[in-house]
Amino acid sequence: VSLNIPLLPSDVTLIAVSKKQSDAKIDQALAQGLRHFGENQIQEAIKHWKDRRQNYSDLTLHLIGPLQSNKTKEAVALFDVIHTIDRPKIAALLHQEMVKQQKHLPCFIQVNIGDEPQKSGIAISELNAFHAYCTQEIGLTIIGLMAIPPANEEATPYFQKLKFLADDLNLSELSMGMSDDYQHAIECGATHIRLGSMLFGDR
Ligand SMILES: *Cc1c(COP(=O)(O)O)cnc(C)c1O
């Protein structure tokens, strides 16, 4: 069954979120030409991509889920882009690992854009200091901001806020927008959208 891939502006990167999907569907996405994939968990990502990497040299793998400090080695080894830098300890450990592996990955800072207590992401009030820490003190390559707006609310105001924060920090990349709201995200300036269920069907 072929996947339903939306037509997008050429400057928007479509990240196919392959978490919890079958091998058949992942192979179908590759057959249809998709090359950017997002995963939430390191172990599952290794299972999906370690071997496929050998056959597709032009893959770009994005880590879009929370990173634990004991998984930084595997994360740096497998992924090409990290979207979920959200606290000083993880930023420092990741950088150490990048130096060790001589693999300096582009990163996004994840922002807790709805200021929700249970959500990952750096608080908006701490963003500027955290960005300075990541770039100046540690030397991470921060290319943009990422966020997941609160569920069951209109997403557009949160996308606009993330765009404003990125502009303020002179960051060009914005990872925002999922199956239900990606069109709004693009209107607000998303450069990377992360689509799971609308491409692959339910998980
Ligand atoms: C699962 C996930 C997605 C994809 O969500 P869909 O609603 O299935 O498109 C996007 N971003 C993150 C961070 C996710 O965890």
Contact 20, 48 (CB under 8 A): no
Place of tokens 């996004």: 108
Q: Residues 39-62: pLDDT tens digits?
A: 999 999 999 999 999 999 999 999
Q: Residues 121-150: pLDDT tens digits?
A: 999 999 999 999 999 999 999 999 999 999
- Determine the Cα–Cα distance for residues 7 and 168; give it in Å rounded to an integer: 30
- Ligand 1 nearest-atom number relative to CA 146: 13
113 in contact with ligand 1, CB cutoff 6 A? no
The one-letter code for the residue type at 63 is L
CA of 14 to the centre of ligand 1 (A): 12
φ, ψ dihedrals at 21, nearest 5°: -100, 160
- Ligand 1 nearest-atom number relative to CA 199: 9
- Determine the Cα–Cα distance for residues 76 and 105; give it in Å rounded to an integer: 8
Structure tokens belonging to residue 190? 């998303």
Instruction: Please state, in angstroms and as integers, the Cα–Cα distance from residue 201 to each residue in 2, 53, 157, following that order.
Output: 11, 24, 27
Q: What is the mean pLDDT of residues 93-97?
A: 98
